[in-house]
């Protein structure tokens, strides 16, 4: 149960863990499901490309959203004293940092 | 059908771009006195009034983008790779990841903008707004360039 008092802990934890899980999901391909656009088929977890490319983007987001929701829900149970120490700025520091990580990961597109 | 969805995606993106830009300007360079000019009135808009619209528009625009993405993956990206257009291809890869990260920020954005707004969260609100504004502008410009790439003489 996410009460009004635990909402800040929940949203900050969600923003941080979602960003981290997303970049980890992309790097290690931890997609919850795969979409094969040419076949218009979904497959559970990571599947190799069949007839045409395989799309993992939706699966990466699903993995990240579920993992972040669970962790944020758990974090919202921490005592108030701890929750008050959570810096709200982490809600933008983490995603912004991950954006820079993606710029680094994808640098090969821009440095050819 | 895909063309209609692409146009709708673009129209929603324009509405989102307008909303987030107004909010970002009013947060970062607020109008202190009377707003007489066009720019002044832009700086004087009530930032809070855009929050729900931005969340709904962001989610809808991302959803529509996700629906038309397979067509891009099959019809456009393969051509970009064959033509060795690495920069537009990479820019779109960044767009896909930035938009996904923006979705994860929306709950925090909603929370820190809701009433009553705590003064100590003013910076968090401002930076979250700027972050979303950057993502929306990046997504809009990259989508626009790729949609019209034949006219860019690349």
Locate the domains of chain A by residue range: 7-110
In the predicted structure, residue A1 carries a pLDDT above the cut 60: no
Residue B149 confidence (pLDDT):
81
Contact predicate B145/B152, CB 8 Å: yes
Nearest alpha carbon to residue B101 among A24, A4, A84: A24
Contact predicate A59/A34, CB 8 Å: yes
Q: Angle at CA A57, nearest 5°, toward A56 and A60?
A: 85
Distance CA B114, CA B54 (A): 13
Cβ contact (<8 Å) for A37 and B102? no
Which residues have C-beta within 8 Å of that of residue A62, sequence separation ≥ 6?
A: A31, A32, A33
Reported confidence tier of residue A84, pLDDT bands at 50, 70, 90: confident
- Give the residue with greater pLDDT, B40 vs A71: A71
Of B73, B96, B110, Cβ closest to residue A37:
B73
List pLDDT tens digits, range A13-72.
999 999 999 999 999 999 999 999 999 999 999 999 988 899 999 999 999 999 999 999
Of B70, B89, B90, Cβ closest to residue A35:
B70
- Could you tell me the sign of the dihedral formed by the alpha carbons of B86, B92, B98, B101, in that order? negative
Distance from the Cα of B36 to chain A's closest Cα (Å) equals 34
This complex has an ipTM of 0.93
Contact predicate B74/A52, CB 8 Å: yes
Reported confidence tier of residue A112, pLDDT bands at 50, 70, 90: confident
Residue A10 confidence (pLDDT):
93
Give this prediction's pTM: 0.93
Provide, rounded to the nearest whole percent, the portion of chain B with pLDDT above 90. Answer: 68
3-state secondary structure of A44: strand
Name every chain A residue with its beta carbon within 8 A of the beta carbon of B98: 99, 102
Residue A66 confidence (pLDDT):
98
């Amino acid at each position: 149960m996410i009460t009004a008092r635990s909402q800040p802990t929940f949203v900050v934890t969600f923003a941080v863990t979602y960003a981290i899980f997303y970049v980890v999901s992309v790097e290690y391909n931890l997609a919850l499901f795969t979409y094969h656009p040419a076949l218009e088929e979904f497959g559970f977890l990571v599947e190799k490309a069949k007839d045409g490319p395989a799309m993992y983007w939706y699966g990466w987001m699903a993995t990240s959203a579920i993992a972040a929701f669970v962790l944020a829900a758990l974090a919202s149970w921490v005592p108030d004293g701890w929750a008050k120490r959570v810096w709200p700025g982490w809600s933008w520091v983490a995603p912004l940092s991950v954006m820079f990580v993606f710029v680094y990961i994808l640098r090969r597109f821009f440095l050819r | 059908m895909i063309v209609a969805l692409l146009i709708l995606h673009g129209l929603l993106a324009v509405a989102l771009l307008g909303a987030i830009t107004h909010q970002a300007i009013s947060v970062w360079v607020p109008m202190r006195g009377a707003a007489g000019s066009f720019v002044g009135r832009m700086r004087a808009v009530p930032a809070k009034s855009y929050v729900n619209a931005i969340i709904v528009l962001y989610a809808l625009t991302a959803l529509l983008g996700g629906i038309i993405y397979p067509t891009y993956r099959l019809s456009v990206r393969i051509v970009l790779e064959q033509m060795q257009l690495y920069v537009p291809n990479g820019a779109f890869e960044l767009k896909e990841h930035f938009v996904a990260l923006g979705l994860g920020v929306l709950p925090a954005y909603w929370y820190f903008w809701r009433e009553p707004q705590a003064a100590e969260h003013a910076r968090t609100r401002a930076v979250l707004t700027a972050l979303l504004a950057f993502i929306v502008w990046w997504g809009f410009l990259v989508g626009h360039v790729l949609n019209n790439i034949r006219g860019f003489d690349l």
